[in-house]
Amino acid sequence: MHGEHAARRAAVLAAIHPGVMVVPARREGAYGGVGEPFRQDSDFWYLTGFDEPDAVLVLRSGAERPCVVFVRPRDPERERWYGPRVGVEGAPDALGVDAAFPLAELEAELPKLLENVSRLFFRLGRDRRLDDRVLEAVDRVRARARQGVFSPHAIVDPGTVLGPLRSIKSAAELAEMERAIAITCAAHRAAMQRARAGVSEAEIEAVLLAEFRAGGARRPAYPPIVAGGKNATILHYDRNDGRFEAGDLVLIDAGCEYMHYAADVTRTFPVCGRFTSAQAEIYELVLAAQGAAVQAVRPGVTLDIVHGAAVEVLTRGLVDLGLVQGPVATAIEEERVKPYYMHRTSHFLGLDVHDAGVYSDAEGPCRLKEGMVITVEPGLYFASSGEAGPFAGIGVRIEDDVLVSSDGALVLTSAAPKSVEAIEAACAP
């Protein structure tokens, strides 16, 4: 991916011209406490493929040396405890950048890099200590105005450049996402095989995590949800400490992270291997809504249209079931499914589960483009205490990862069983 990172930096340099972008790595320990594995900042990883903490990348368009990185220096003592560092001498070759400095020289070097550039792309508000250092550097350049030096007069969020770039996946990125997805789908199949009445949600969570790690994934991309019975109606349930009972539906929302790329898959299946008629009715309705939403995906449409396709099918179905008051058009207009479907249908997927990408700007909701990867994940959730009659306590969500192709959508997660027949087959002993 060496050349690919250089190409991404070149794309950024072209997009920010004239300007300078400052992108920090994640700080050591910033991701968690002692013993938690380090996870690189996604923007920094996207532009460098460099997995060490406490580094800063500075890209300056039009400069003789446009790509400069500040890194931790070599330190034999620390490296014995925490592993090797690339170091200042090794960084230019290892990362393909033009120059490297020790991190301690950021304060002295940054003002030079900010001289005579009109725009500074830097994300304020993430790390107040770094905010201070960057703003001090700007101030030091400003102080030299009478010597004919000008300082940045605009600080721009780098997401305005990195969001659109990161949302279009290259072939190399898609290959890594497909690997994350293959591992994830295998884990879902293993979970369907293992889940039985009497088995704990925790055991199924362990099955998922074992499959992820054995498959080569570094970690789950987000805390897995393993929800039996009415736990599936809690959207962000992650206690995973219940036990399945005969007749339960099991909702699993779990995906791994492979080479920093996330998969995000939800499947819902009957713990006994057969849907009851009430469960099947809801399941088929969500499945139809999911299919309609996937059908709606193509370049040029907005995520509102994809969401609307799901909402229309769900509304029609719930009106037919007598759970929502018709007529359908009025029910859609008044969002009457909202008590049962209260979240959005899609988000961008990539280096982050909720990936970089522009959902809307001054012109309104943004349009899908070829090469974007999004989730399509409608659901229906009936509280056990609600008025939903035979459907009370049922929670169903079906989530696929979908690539926007030139003329439609390509479902990347079809290795996870989804039709009623495929699920019943996958659950069979």
Question: Which stretches of the chain bind Mn ion, using CB under 5 A?
Answer: 264, 375
Q: Are the C-beta atoms of residues 236 and 225 closer than 8 Å to each other?
A: yes
Shortest Å distance, C-beta 248 to Mn ion: 22
CA nearest to 246, candidates 213, 286, 274: 274
Cβ closest to Mn ion, residue 61 vs residue 375 = 375
Shortest Å distance, C-beta 349 to Mn ion: 7
CA distance 148 to 286: 64
Shortest Å distance, C-beta 267 to Mn ion: 12
CA nearest to 400, candidates 266, 254, 203: 266
Shortest Å distance, C-beta 255 to Mn ion: 8
Cβ closest to Mn ion, residue 184 vs residue 375 = 375
Cβ closest to Mn ion, residue 67 vs residue 265 = 265
Cβ closest to Mn ion, residue 231 vs residue 375 = 375
Shortest Å distance, C-beta 60 to Mn ion: 37
Shortest Å distance, C-beta 216 to Mn ion: 22
Shortest Å distance, C-beta 213 to Mn ion: 21
Cβ closest to Mn ion, residue 244 vs residue 348 = 348
**Amino acid found at 427:** C
Shortest Å distance, C-beta 126 to Mn ion: 23
Cβ closest to Mn ion, residue 239 vs residue 354 = 354
CA nearest to 210, candidates 179, 229, 183, 236: 183
Shortest Å distance, C-beta 92 to Mn ion: 39
Cβ closest to Mn ion, residue 41 vs residue 264 = 264
Q: Are the C-beta atoms of residues 368 and 409 closer than 8 Å to each other?
A: no
Cβ closest to Mn ion, residue 231 vs residue 345 = 345
Cβ closest to Mn ion, residue 233 vs residue 375 = 375
